Structure 1
Amino acid sequence: MRRRIASLPPWTLAVAAMLSIQFANALSVGVLREVGPAGTAWLRMCFGAAFLWMIARPQFSSISRKDLPALLILGVATGFMTTFFLGAVQRIDLGTAVAIEFLGPLAVAGIMSKNRAALLWPGLALCGVVLLTEPWAGKIDLAGVGLALLSGVCWGLYNVYTQRVGDRFSGISGLSLTIPIAAIATAPVGLPQVIHGNLLWWVLLAAAGIALITPVIAFGLEMLALRRMNHTAFGTLLSIEPAFGVLMGLLVLGQSPAALQLLGIAIVVTAGAAAQRGGARADPQGPEEIIEHPIPENPTQERG
């Protein structure tokens, strides 16, 4: 199964990951009403770490000193990307939050592109975000926008360091190391909300189910995709994620954007696609240099 997934075109993995992430974010709205956005993010990271450790036993002895900075940065960025984003979703619509958050990876992709003109496109995306937030109508929630922007900064770091960690470890192995770091990093803000929140049985069950979708499945697919794509190609695909946010907001949360907001989303998507050029990324390391902890084909076989 693992080999079949890895043999799929990388763009299909990226699209599946984006849909999964936005679906999980939409499902998280009910949980964050009970335990807050930081509490929801922390529970997702904790359950995600538990699932990943059941799937892949991390071999800490295989980590070199030079691996530590990338693992730590990716873990912290992952945890706070989710925390800030759920804080934004608590205040503004899902599609709007994704579009604002997208400014982060769009800026990273523009900076890393060989085409210097790509740096102009984040400005166009910003125009689309202005149409989404409608500041002239007095509807803008500054705290929600600020949280989405902070999440975007983390998202930009996440994309860069996901590729670096994915080049060194297999998707599941890398996640089994970084998601526990995310849980530890977000504990100071997430645990108090869980303790003082309304921690019902269904909240724990929902958080566990959401964690199985994201971070386990979705982030694993992203790592596989980023190992085989460069930042510009991956960023081009990311440009459709705001549209996925609108779609999930409509289907799951019943959030219907106005015509002007749809135009804003279209501008953000266009800017993201136009900012990037590129194709497939050659695997920078041979398979023998990547630390793999495959799942045995026979489920009764002992993992080494």
Structure 2
Amino acid sequence: MPNSQLLAVLFMVLSMVAYQISASFAKQLISVLDPLTVVTLRLCFASILILIMFRSWKIIKRLPYLKWRNLLFYSASVCLMNALFYASLGRLPQGIAVGLEFLGPLTLALISIQYKSDYIWVALAILGIGLMVPWQDANQSNFSYLGAAMALGAGVFWAFYIYFGQKVVRQNIGMHALTIAITLSALVMLSVSVVHNPTALIQTQYWPQALVIAVLATAIPYALDLMALKSLSKMTYGTLSSLSPALGAIAGWFLLHEHISLLQSIALVCIMIASIGVTYRASKQKSIPDMS
């Protein structure tokens, strides 16, 4: 595997680990604050962090000349993906929420397939997701149909995030695109939260937890994702993202003491095999010289 592609895969894995740990922390915070407030605090802190990290004030002079259509769609995807996922996280176990959300990028991987042999990896990922979600618990108190709909909606905007993320990285503004997207998302969510529950925003005792979540869920993974998207195709990115439900279930088990069943363990194996398979397939395609 070329070094650039191997590095892109490493970026993705680190991104997903950080994000799933942050989701566990966020779920704990949601028990005392509402999901909308948690995601607003997270995005506000994240916008400040990445502004400093990437010194994005340098981009101010170039703002009038940017391709705002793609940037606005990318920003809207980031905002809605986060808002819907956190809302679902307040109603579903972490593993179920992540599993349902993943159907978005998985669908993107499916429609991006060019070779019939690649269907085996997507089929394994679909099987893994099917086993990961405990459908038999649908009538129990730990499952919410509204939460499931929100998780699926988050998956749709996750797919848009991937699609427009690939377009945004071609604008040659580097990580400043991330600063713009997170800042716009934070301003939108802050406006909504001020109307929805303004007193929750000023409970400063929860700000340190929100800051940790911002670092783990936004500043680190989104930066790594943008770097990974430079070297990975939509199908490779989408199928590699199948590690997310597995990591979500592990984080939920380790940090929240959520149980992982035998079927969910089998699902982890299916998902990881699919991820390894699509990575190997992508590396084989990269190694074939273009004779045209």
Q: Normalization by structure 2: what TM-score?
A: 0.82
The corresponding residue for 2:15 is 17
Query: How is 1:28-177 mapped onto 2 (pairs within 5 angstroms)?
Result: 28-55=26-53, 56-58=55-57, 59-63=59-63, 67-115=67-115, 125=125, 128-137=128-137, 138-139=139-140, 140-177=143-180
- Length, aligned pairs only: 277
On the 8 A contact 2:88/2:151 being kept in 1, the answer is yes
Q: State the identity %.
A: 23
CA distance in 2, matches of 1:135, 1:249: 18
Shift of 1:197: 3.2
Q: Deviations over 1:160-188 (max 9, x none)?
A: 11122122245421111111111133335
On the 8 A contact 1:13/1:224 being kept in 2, the answer is yes
Give the aligned residue type for 1:174.
A
On the 8 A contact 2:81/2:153 being kept in 1, the answer is yes
**SS, match of residue 258 in structure 2:** coil
Find out whether 1:257 has 2:255 as its counterpart: no
Q: Which sections of structure 2, spanning at least 5 residues, go unmatched?
A: 287-292
Query: How is 1:181-220 mapped onto 2 (pairs within 5 angstroms)?
Result: 181-197=184-200, 199-220=202-223
Q: Deviations over 1:198-228 (max 9, x none)?
A: 8532311111222122211211011111112
Give the aligned residue type for 1:168.
Q
CA distance in 2, matches of 1:195, 1:281: 52
Change (3 A) 1:268 1:12: closer
Q: For the aligned residues, what is the CA RMSD?
A: 3.0
Change (3 A) 1:259 1:10: same
Change (3 A) 1:150 1:31: same
Shift of 1:126: 5.1
CA distance in 2, matches of 1:280, 1:26: 36
CA distance in 2, matches of 1:200, 1:122: 44
Give the aligned residue type for 2:52.
M
Compare 31-40 and 52-61 and name the one that shifted more: 52-61
Select 1:244's aligned residue among 242, 247, 253. 247
Give the aligned residue type for 1:74.
Y
Q: Normalization by structure 1: what TM-score?
A: 0.79
Find out whether 1:278 has 2:282 as its counterpart: yes
On the 8 A contact 1:103/1:125 being kept in 2, the answer is no
